[in-house]
Structure 1
Amino acid sequence: MTDASLPLLADIEDAARTVYQEFQPTPQYRWGLLGERLGTECWVKHENHNPVGAFKIRGGLTYFGQMAQRGALPREVISATRGNHGQSIGWAARRHGVACTIVVPHGNSVEKNAAMRALGVQLVEHGEDFQAAREHALYLAAERGAHMVPSFHADLLRGVATYWWEFLRAVPHMQVAYVPIGLGSGACSAVAAKRALGHRVRLVGVVSRHATTYADSFAAGQVVAAPVSTRIADGMAVRVADPQALALLMPHLDHLVQVGDGEVAAAMRALFTDTHNVAEGAGAAAFAAALQEKDALRGQCVGVPLTGGNVDAALFAQVLADETPAPV
């Protein structure tokens, strides 16, 4: 995938019509207390305010929408996830009457698993991390003759780009935006929306210090696998960067920031205290990165997406009590 294959403005606008059949644009607010913490103007895009509590739902809707337009809806889809992508695919599969199996690693979020099952998903637990779950999903898809839904694909980007399209249109004077990187769909969609709108915002990538495949791959100029030990940012717990995403991101991100679990937990507490919104670990990573760089942000308009709020209650209670589990 190259820059030329990123969704254009017309593609994103068409994707928005598909997304808005299920829910309306999510809000973005300028939060005063968060601004005081940063020492500058701070806007938050609330992707926690949609039907599955995370931005991924947009991609699932457009992925299935494109299959339906082509008359190519399968009888069954299979995919792998740490939770939010699986909810997205489960939601869209249910809407189109397609059977759905999702593979998650052992020890996955109890509440994300429950949410997927509630959407009619057949859940399979396999492996110790996302990469192992993904490989098993590929095996099951081949064995059953089912359609394997990837975690990174142009038809997913079309939908995910709609949230950045909303955000950048709502805050045309935004100067810096922090973009969490899991497997890459959210970050690549930020690039697509920026290009489509001709927005001048600087995009800063955010990775977990305990899942550094993208940081290591950026440094090497090619995909480098890295161990995953984060206990809190499961949405960023990727062991192997996607080569297509890497190629798209390297020319367009201003720089990368690595955030540790302690910083992410502090950002989760700050978001709850200042806005009374619940952020999962990956959902708070953008604000954690902004806090890390706040001395360089004075006088600038900063945008941070709260990409999801799907954190298990027990873990969130530990975070609020400042008892965050250490990385493994």
Structure 2
Amino acid sequence: MAAAARVTLADVYRAHERIMPYIHKTPVFTNATFDKLIGRNAFFKAENLQKTGSFKARGALNAVMSLRERNANAAGVVTHSTGNHGQALAWAAQTVGLKCAVIVPRDTPQVKKDAITSYGAELVLCEPTPQSRQETCQRVAEEQGLEFVPPFDHHDVIAGQGTIGMELLKQAPDLDAILVPVSGGGMASGIAIAAKAMKPDIKIYLVEAEGKMCEKSLRAGERLWPNPPRFLNTIADGIRMQHLGHLTFPILVDLAEKDVFSISDADMIKGMKFAFERMKLVIEAASGAAVVAAMSDKLAAMDKDMKNIGVILCGGNVDIDKLPWY
């Protein structure tokens, strides 16, 4: 899709109207202990409580419903995913009665593989490399006549994820900034589009796993990553994509802050533990990254007038038999 077809707030509103009968309007939580710890007010958008356990349900359902509107005879959909988008697309396809196939790396947590198949999707395993994911997905799409719905680089997916930002600002209208975990950038782009349109002075900060190079890319104005592309070595399987997307990158260059929070696995565990122990919320490592970014010295050193911080808890799909601190 051409960059000229950038998602707008109107697209996000249409996505909201389309998907709201089927998804949860997730709650926003606060925690007095956390606020005292960081010296600001934090508002946690609990997408870990969303359908399929992550924010991905929004974009996947909007994409599938939009496909059905365009082509009533569509054979089905296919995607490649580390788990959350795969689960979401499988659920969305089941919701509207479409066939779905999901390509996942062999090392994807079993809990996510089981969830994908529980929604009736065909599970196809590939090697844990971006190239293998793409090649396997293309082969399955051609063999079965399925439409590819990518995890992030898709107009309808971005618009669906943007409903998070729209909801959050209605629930917490005084936000000064939002911390968003980022992999390919679909959620971050959607939230940035919606939030900046509704409140132009709000700041959108990306939260990445160490090694992603988002800050260098945003400051350089070009997508930077190792050649060949690879996945990051991180416990946060939901944000291990090495680079931002073709569609999402220019959006984030325009709308996100150039300061990026780069989080280690050890710190993600700290964020997860805080949510588990003090908030009684099950979150995955990618969500833990956003929590600990709000606790970081980097945020502490920023503008003290930035009083109210949104924190996106993007998912809660963890294998409870393999928690990362054991």
- Alignment of 1:295 onto 2:300: yes
Match of 1:287, SS? helix
CA contact (8 A) 2:209 2:232 kept: no
Per-residue deviation, 1:216: 4.5
Q: Tell me whether 1:276 sits opposite 2:276 in the alignment.
A: no
Aligned-pair distance for 1:18?
2.0
CA contact (8 A) 2:75 2:145 kept: no
**Distance in 2 between residues matched to 1:169 and 1:303, nearest whole Å:** 12
Q: Give the corresponding residue for 1:117.
A: 117
Q: Are 1:154 and 2:159 counterparts?
A: no
What residue number does 1:326 align with?
none
CA change 1:107–1:24 in 2 (3 A) is: closer
Letter in 1 for 2:320: A
| Corresponding residue SS for 2:77 | strand
What is the aligned-residue RMSD (CA, Å)?
1.9
Determine whether 1:200 maps to 2:189.
Answer: no
Identical aligned residues as a percent? 27
Structure 1 position 134, deviation (Å): 2.8
CA distance in 1, matches of 2:122, 2:46: 29
Which amino acid in the other structure matches residue 305 of structure 1?
I
Aligned equivalents of 2:172, 2:289: Cα separation in 1: 20
User: 1:145 offset after TM fit, Å?
Assistant: 2.6
SS for the counterpart of 1:225 is: coil
**What's 2:87 paired with?**
87
Match of 2:46? 46
Cα distance in 1 between the residues matched to 2:8 and 2:87: 23
- Where does residue 308 of structure 1 map in the other structure? 315
What secondary structure does 1:314 align onto? coil
Q: Tell which deviates more after alignment, 177-186 or 231-240.
A: 231-240
State whether residues 216 and 224 of structure 2, in contact with CA within 8 Å, keep that contact through their aligned partners in structure 1: yes
Q: 1:252 aligns with which of 244, 251, 255?
A: 255
**TM-aligned CA distance change 1:215 to 1:104, over 3 Å:** farther
Structure 2: give runs of 5+ residues left out of the alignment.
none
Distance 2:38 2:275 in 1: 12
Contact 2:130 2:231 in 1 (8 A): no
Provide TM-score, normalisation by structure 1. 0.90
Deviations 1:65-118 (A, max 9, x none): 111222345213210001111111101111121111100011101101111100
Change (3 A) 1:195 1:201: closer
SS at match of 1:206: strand
1:201 counterpart letter in structure 2: I
**Is contact 1:230–1:261 with CA below 8 Å preserved after alignment?**
no
Distance 1:140 1:4, change over 3 A: closer
CA distance in 2, matches of 1:27, 1:86: 24
Pair 303,73 (structure 1): closer, same or farther in 2 beyond 3 Å: farther
State the distance in 1 between where 2:214 and 2:145 align.
Answer: 32
2:136 matches 1:133: no
Write the distance in 1 (CA, Å) between the matches of 2:317 and 2:127.
22
Contact 1:106 1:129 in 2 (8 A): no
Rounded Cα–Cα distance in structure 2 between residues aligned with 1:30 and 1:48: 15
- In 2, Cα distance between equivalents of 1:173 and 1:156: 27
Task: Please state how far the C-alpha of 1:2 moved relative to its aligned partner.
Answer: 4.2
Please say if 1:69 is aligned against 2:69: yes
Residues 73 and 25 of structure 1: is their aligned pair in 2 closer, same or farther, counting only changes over 3 Å?
Answer: farther
Contact 2:196–2:202 (Cα < 8 Å) also in 1 = no
Equivalent pair of 1:67/1:73 in contact (CA under 8 Å): no
What is the CA distance between 1:161 and its match in structure 2? 0.8
Partner Cα distance (1:191, 1:207) in 2: 16
Give me the whole-angstrom Cα distance separating, in 2, the residues matched to 1:257 and 1:3.
Answer: 29
**Aligned 8 A contact 2:209 2:234 in 1:** no
Contact 2:183 2:243 in 1 (8 A): no
Q: Distance in 2 between matches of 1:230 and 1:110?
A: 18
